[in-house]
Structure 1
Amino acid sequence: MELTFYINNKIIMGSYRRSEIMRKLFCKRFINLLVIALLVLPIFSSLAIRAHAEDTVSVKLLSVNDLHGKIDVTGTINNVNYGRADYLATYLKARKATNPNNTLIIHSGDMIGGSSPVSALLRDEPTVEIMEAIGFDVGTVGNHEFDKGTQELLRMVNGGDHPNGTKGYKGMNFPVVAANVEYKDTGKLILDPYAIKEVDGVKIGFIGVATVETPNMVMASGIQDIRFTDEAAAVNKYTEELKAKGIKAIVVLAHVPGNQSGETATGQIANLAKNVDDEVDVIIAAHNHVKLNAIVDNKLIVQAWEYGKSFADIDLKIDRVTGDIVEKHAEIVDVIQEGATPDPEVSAILAKYNEMVGPKLKEVVGYATTPMNGGYPIKGIIGDNALGNLIADGMNFEMKSDFALMNGGGIRDVLAQGEITWENLFNIQPFNNTLVTVTIPGSALEPILNAQFSSYGPDVSIGGFSYTWDSKKNKVVNIYLPDGTPIDKNGTYTLTVNNYMYEHGTDKYKIRQYSKDPVQGPEDLQATVNFVKSFNGPIQYVAEGRISEDFKAPELVDAVLHGADLKDGSYLHEVKVSLAATDAGIGISHIEYSLDNGVTWKRYDEGLTINKAGKNSIQYRAIDKVHNVSETKTLEVFITPASIENTISLVKQADGDKGIKASLIDQLENAIKTFEKDKEDKAYQSLEKIYLHISKLSNKHLGEMDKNEIMFMLKYIIEHRTEISRNELPALLAS
């Protein structure tokens, strides 16, 4: 139905018709708008995403720490080969290729020092050449960069020839920064505190710090002109400078140790993270050679193992407008040789320097029958290690000293089974330290040893003595000479150490405090080489308990011997005594006994035969493998010699018929006379007849127990021919 109205000569359509038309028109327009929106929205979304991406810069940091000049060294663990500089280069260059224009390669110190000989023999300049070939952009210093002193570090950074280096050495072609190492006299830093790198329009500040413990780990004489200030205070000071320059993306290269704990970190590096400005976003740790990938106080902390066997791959997103790091995450990547091709440029550098030093490295100086581990001694029953023992004995051998101490941190590698080359020994002792022999009173050795204990255990390997200690108290219990006798505290001894220990900045080892008359010796490496060469055959060294927490003495087991032969408790002619002991610790070394009331002691083997007539007093004790001595026990044994005279005594004391007893005594005395006439065979025939006669006597004629004792003695005399003629006696006594 349709209604039409005329108002003011205008036609007005009915409301029903008009509403329907308007509804259809609205729907059509809405659909058109929806279609347009669906077509346009993806364009706007893409533009928004692109705008956000253009607001941030993706930056990759590749970090290495604690290379220690091990440029030609392969580390093998569980049959997997890790590291070596040409493989490290391959990995780093491959990762850089994923973001070539926005990648920086950085390090947090100890790239040199304690190096393999191909680098160390040329003052670590080969390592620097390889770092430049890889393309490092910035680094800092660790404690080992100061091994040769301040001036040598500055030469390494800035360039200059060294007599043992390469000709025309130009230094490092990338900045090395250290914000907390300054000259004592002026307070000026020895290196720039930070470096600024610009990547795709954004600036990143890199601040370097070295551990404040460095003076305790290097030769004191080489760094007398500098000091190391608080790491956190230095970082905060130069963070303010960077912020004043508008830089908010800040990375700290910190040669400071730490450990993983779940998703966070502990130790000195964690304390550093908590105490530095929150504008610091990333901290590259080092020094304790572990893998670390953690967050502390919203700061990313990484450390990548050691010796180029791994590296950290850190991805950052930096806001273009604010300059802040808005995203950060890291991966620790192992440098596994299998499946990788060594970088040809770095391989060529290695080949060049190996050719220069090769003949010296390959010299064979000895042969090891077993592998020898080194490093620091440990807590436990056996705390020493084979390689430390070898080195300490070599120090005594070279300097003809009584005692030797070798710090664990100076033993940098293990010794494999097989041929021992000069290169092997250099890798173990790479620091070119020299030996120093001093004189100490015997009473000083204990406080010197106590000074080297820490919460981790002992520091030094030892030669010329052994000791037991208590880790709960960190104190020595006993000190013994090699023969097991205690050290003479009133005596005087010579002690050999290396010059690092002797010159230690804080006299940590107490050598200077307690010693006098220092005598300089050769390099420690040469002493070890000479000692190894002194062996006529293969060398076998083991961990033997020179250092031990076993200070509990063995326990003796009661002596074992059969029951007495005679009713008076004595033994006929001789008796064998068996001695034994138990030890809950390292084990029994030996048992010893004394037959003269402790004046002299003899080593017990298997069975002790006692045959001295009369009362024998036997003292015995046990000694374990670290010279702990048990209590001394005493055993009394009575011996009755098997003789005709003693047989007569038994007959006289026996219960029995007097006439029978008198007859037996007469027969025995006649046998004695026969011996005196030097008719030995006839005398023994007489004794056999007497024995036979007694055996037929009834218990009424001779008491059973007495009869058995008399027969037992006679049988022993006959079988062992214990009676001798008078003519034989002088010759026997003379012999």
Structure 2
Amino acid sequence: MSAPTLTRISLAALVAATGVAMAAAPATAHPKPPKTVLVRLVSINDFHGNLEPPTGSGGAIVNESGVSVPAGGAAYLATHLKSLAGQNENGTVVVGAGDLIGATPLISAAYHDEPTVELLGNLGLEVSSVGNHEFDEGIDELRRVQDGGCHPVDGCSPAGRWRGASYEYLAANVLKEKNDRYALPPVAVKKVGGVKVGFIGLVTRTTPTIVTASGIAGLKFAEEVESGNRAASLLRRAGVKAIVALVHEGDQITPNQSPDACPVTPGAGSRIAQGLSADVDLVIMGHSHQAYICKTKDPAGQDRYYTQGSSFGRVLTTVDFQVDKKTGEVVRSSVTPDNHVVTRDVTPDATTAAFVQTWKDRVATVANKPIGKITADLGRAGGQTGETPLGDVIADAQLEATKTGGGAEIALMNPGGVRADLTYAQSGSEGDGVVTYGEAFTVQPFNNLMQVVTLTGARLDALLEQQWQNGGAITRILQPSASLTYTMNLSQPIGSRVSDIKINGTPVTDTQEIRVAANNFLVGGGDGFSVFKEGTNLWSGPLDIDALVAYLGAHSPVAPPATARITLAG
């Protein structure tokens, strides 16, 4: 593949814009000026539009002392960010590592995430990599969010014509299929204290498997390391030698560790952090919703940090480093990263609180509408089988919504699409046990279409075996409706772990034809479940959020089901 052609940026323009040719400063008397400039970065990743303090397990995090504390909320985030950004007299660059929007609560999603983008701009965000969720509504919508204009279908929000983001999205490995040109700018350059710092944006190359096909139509997602190295070379040719990669990819960790520890299980994040060329001084990551600060060796044997700051605005990452004024290079030994928990024991920023309240008031009529009741928390935490109470309820809701028109016999829900817990305690003034539309939407925010396809019993078995991928490095347990039961044996090799599949208590045969309901993301082969694409007789029905709302309304109060649909053997 030939090197991509830049859009909105050329080498000559980059050189001009960043002032590579700089006038020499006049000689001065004692004391001699410092030979380096202190640069501070503050980063945020996977914010997902959490303007209000997140609830449930997504609203707490283990701090540096090993204690789980409430964290997040835009007004608290603003207070922490302003404090951290104000500690460097040379100025601070606020950056992002993707998934700032997409899969957002109703307060943001109802207005196509314009409130979140505006807020982040107000807080000083200057540049961010794209994440996979930035593509949820497609590249054209992402460009509208970036550049401005009212939504082509829903029109302008209550705030009027959208002016566009005040920060820039970068994507050095997202190319147009038709000509291999960059779909978005690959790099950006910022000045801090007179020195230039270059930023590269990268997003996980697995994006086509975790975003609906319509969201990435016409795009290619190239390998991250090769693309990042090409972008770093571009910056070096423009005279920019202090280089930071903003990467929407990351690793999993051993849970309940300090956010400043490095308890990672090496995966895609570590691969990228180790593989990027020695021209890259620092790697700031996202995607896996974990908090860690790790150090590795770059290809030249130098120490290089890679970091991630959890999700939902619960952690801000600061990175301080010195840049040599003469050479423009980062002094690697000076790099000092730190993860700061966004605690709620500070005074919330009044301006941000008022901003959030404005949008909360605008969406209140819809968001605060009671739709049902629950008897206890419905959570996403599961046992050894990976089955969860909330996942079961959602699968039951989807089956009920697709039986009549689609003839569904079973339903399967991808666990990554369950974005929050439903908590028994009231989140506002609705009363304990009452579920509002806004709370349900936070759980199911994608507006995916419910679909039904026909699979044989043998292909259903093959589909369930795809819950273990990449040699077992990835496990995604599909949440089953009550009509489906089976046994899982983790001691067996991958491909032979599922047995005793039954529908309503009757064993499934290999040749039996089964109507299987799932959202359009899964039916399109999302999350690596390629067997779904073999399904026949496609039927499309209601939105997934509508299915959940209808189910809660019809069956209230809903109690947490026993997670016994999957039996563990061996």
What interval of TM-score do these two structures reach, taking the shorter chain for normalisation? Answer: 0.7 to 0.9
Q: State the secondary structure of the residue aligned to 1:527.
A: helix
Q: Which residue of 1 aligns with 2:37?
A: 57
Against the structure 1 CA distance between its residues 506 and 160, is the aligned structure 2 distance closer, same or farther, given a 3 Å change threshold?
same
Q: Which residue of 2 aligns with 1:183?
A: 176
Written as runs of structure 1 = structure 2, the 5 A alignment for 1:300-699 is: 300-326=305-331, 327-338=334-345, 340-374=346-380, 379-380=384-385, 383-400=386-403, 401-417=408-424, 418-454=433-469, 455=472, 456-463=474-481, 464-472=483-491, 473-474=493-494, 475-482=497-504, 484-504=505-525, 508-513=529-534, 515-535=535-555, 537-550=556-569
Counterparts of 2:243 and 2:161 in 1: how far apart (Å)? Answer: 35
Q: State the secondary structure of the residue aligned to 1:392.
A: helix
Q: Which residue of 2 aligns with 1:620?
A: none
Match of 1:143 among 112, 124, 132: 132
State the Cα distance separating 1:442 from its structure 2 match: 3.1
Q: Which residue of 2 aligns with 1:594?
A: none
Counterparts of 2:89 and 2:440 in 1: how far apart (Å)? Answer: 41
Counterparts of 1:399 and 1:89 in 2: how far apart (Å)? Answer: 44
State the Cα distance separating 1:264 from its structure 2 match: 8.3
Counterparts of 1:505 and 1:477 in 2: how far apart (Å)? Answer: 23
State the Cα distance separating 1:125 from its structure 2 match: 0.4
State the Cα distance separating 1:548 from its structure 2 match: 2.1
Counterparts of 1:509 and 1:543 in 2: how far apart (Å)? Answer: 29
Q: Which residue of 2 aligns with 1:642?
A: none
Match of 2:118 among 104, 126, 129: 129
The answer to whether the Cα contact below 8 Å between 1:258 and 1:285 also exists between their aligned partners in 2 is: no
State TM-score, norm by structure 2. 0.83
Counterparts of 2:476 and 2:311 in 1: how far apart (Å)? Answer: 23
Q: Which residue of 2 aligns with 1:269?
A: 269
Against the structure 1 CA distance between its residues 435 and 453, is the aligned structure 2 distance closer, same or farther, given a 3 Å change threshold?
same
Counterparts of 2:313 and 2:480 in 1: how far apart (Å)? Answer: 32
Q: For residues 111-137 of structure 1, what are the alpha-carbon distances to aligned partners after superposition, in whole Å with 9 as ceiling and x for unaligned?
A: 001101100011000000100110111
Query: What is the letter of the counterpart of residue 480 of structure 2?
Result: I
Q: For residues 27-59 of structure 1, what are the alpha-carbon distances to aligned partners after superposition, in whole Å with 9 as ceiling and x for unaligned?
A: xxxxxxxxxxxxxxxxxxxx99x53x6111111
Counterparts of 2:356 and 2:72 in 1: how far apart (Å)? Answer: 14
Q: Which residue of 2 aligns with 1:226?
A: 219
Counterparts of 1:264 and 1:440 in 2: how far apart (Å)? Answer: 41
State the Cα distance separating 1:263 from its structure 2 match: 5.4
Q: State the secondary structure of the residue aligned to 2:468.
A: coil
Query: What is the letter of the counterpart of residue 398 of structure 2?
Result: M
The answer to whether the Cα contact below 8 Å between 2:525 and 2:533 also exists between their aligned partners in 1 is: no
Q: State the secondary structure of the residue aligned to 2:125.
A: coil
Query: What is the letter of the counterpart of residue 429 of structure 1?
Result: Q
Tell me which structure has the larger Cα radius of gyration.
1
Query: What is the letter of the counterpart of residue 291 of structure 1?
Result: A
Written as runs of structure 1 = structure 2, the 5 A alignment for 1:25-174 is: 51=32, 54-74=34-54, 75-76=59-60, 80-162=69-151, 163-164=153-154, 165-166=156-157, 167-174=160-167
Higher helix share: 1
Counterparts of 1:461 and 1:439 in 2: how far apart (Å)? Answer: 18
Counterparts of 2:209 and 2:109 in 1: how far apart (Å)? Answer: 22
State the Cα distance separating 1:506 from its structure 2 match: 8.7
Q: For residues 595-615 of structure 1, what are the alpha-carbon distances to aligned partners after superposition, in whole Å with 9 as ceiling and x for unaligned?
A: xxxxxxxxxxxxxxxxxxxxx
State the Cα distance separating 1:516 from its structure 2 match: 1.2
Counterparts of 2:241 and 2:501 in 1: how far apart (Å)? Answer: 59
Q: State the secondary structure of the residue aligned to 1:72.
A: coil
Q: Which residue of 2 aligns with 1:204?
A: 197
Q: For residues 431-486 of structure 1, what are the alpha-carbon distances to aligned partners after superposition, in whole Å with 9 as ceiling and x for unaligned?
A: 1101001223333321121123332544310112111022232321111223x331
The answer to whether the Cα contact below 8 Å between 1:179 and 1:191 also exists between their aligned partners in 2 is: yes
Counterparts of 2:120 and 2:292 in 1: how far apart (Å)? Answer: 23
State the aligned residue count.
496
Against the structure 1 CA distance between its residues 337 and 263, is the aligned structure 2 distance closer, same or farther, given a 3 Å change threshold?
closer
Against the structure 1 CA distance between its residues 422 and 130, is the aligned structure 2 distance closer, same or farther, given a 3 Å change threshold?
same
State the Cα distance separating 1:269 from its structure 2 match: 2.2
State the Cα distance separating 1:101 from its structure 2 match: 4.0
Counterparts of 1:421 and 1:282 in 2: how far apart (Å)? Answer: 43
Q: For residues 45-84 of structure 1, what are the alpha-carbon distances to aligned partners after superposition, in whole Å with 9 as ceiling and x for unaligned?
A: xx99x53x61111111000000011111331467732110
Q: State the secondary structure of the residue aligned to 2:78.
A: helix
Q: State the secondary structure of the residue aligned to 2:189.
A: strand
State the Cα distance separating 1:256 from its structure 2 match: 1.2
Query: What is the letter of the counterpart of residue 545 of structure 2?
Result: L
Q: Is there any run of 5+ residues in structure 2 with no aligned partner, and where?
A: 1-28, 62-66, 255-260, 298-302, 425-432
Q: State the secondary structure of the residue aligned to 2:419.
A: coil
Counterparts of 1:87 and 1:72 in 2: how far apart (Å)? Answer: 10
Q: For residues 342-380 of structure 1, what are the alpha-carbon distances to aligned partners after superposition, in whole Å with 9 as ceiling and x for unaligned?
A: 1122112111111110111111111111211127x6534
Query: What is the letter of the counterpart of residue 310 of structure 1?
Result: V
Counterparts of 1:440 and 1:273 in 2: how far apart (Å)? Answer: 41
Counterparts of 1:60 and 1:506 in 2: how far apart (Å)? Answer: 37
Q: For residues 387-418 of structure 1, what are the alpha-carbon distances to aligned partners after superposition, in whole Å with 9 as ceiling and x for unaligned?
A: 11111111111111210010011001111121
Counterparts of 1:335 and 1:264 in 2: how far apart (Å)? Answer: 21
The answer to whether the Cα contact below 8 Å between 2:490 and 2:569 also exists between their aligned partners in 1 is: no
Q: Which residue of 2 aligns with 1:16?
A: none
State TM-score, norm by structure 1. 0.65
Against the structure 1 CA distance between its residues 284 and 465, is the aligned structure 2 distance closer, same or farther, given a 3 Å change threshold?
same
Counterparts of 1:168 and 1:107 in 2: how far apart (Å)? Answer: 25
Percent identity over paired residues? 32
The answer to whether the Cα contact below 8 Å between 2:210 and 2:527 also exists between their aligned partners in 1 is: no
Q: Which residue of 2 aligns with 1:289?
A: 289
Query: What is the letter of the counterpart of residue 415 of structure 1?
Result: L
Q: State the secondary structure of the residue aligned to 1:534.
A: helix
State the Cα distance separating 1:508 from its structure 2 match: 2.5
Over the residues paired in the alignment, what is the CA RMSD in angstroms? 2.0
Counterparts of 1:435 and 1:523 in 2: how far apart (Å)? Answer: 6
The answer to whether the Cα contact below 8 Å between 1:107 and 1:140 also exists between their aligned partners in 2 is: yes
Q: For residues 261-280 of structure 1, what are the alpha-carbon distances to aligned partners after superposition, in whole Å with 9 as ceiling and x for unaligned?
A: 96586322222122222121
State the Cα distance separating 1:512 from its structure 2 match: 2.2
The answer to whether the Cα contact below 8 Å between 2:250 and 2:287 also exists between their aligned partners in 1 is: yes
State the Cα distance separating 1:245 from its structure 2 match: 1.8
Against the structure 1 CA distance between its residues 453 and 273, is the aligned structure 2 distance closer, same or farther, given a 3 Å change threshold?
closer
Counterparts of 2:74 and 2:224 in 1: how far apart (Å)? Answer: 30
Counterparts of 2:34 and 2:367 in 1: how far apart (Å)? Answer: 55
State the Cα distance separating 1:95 from its structure 2 match: 1.2
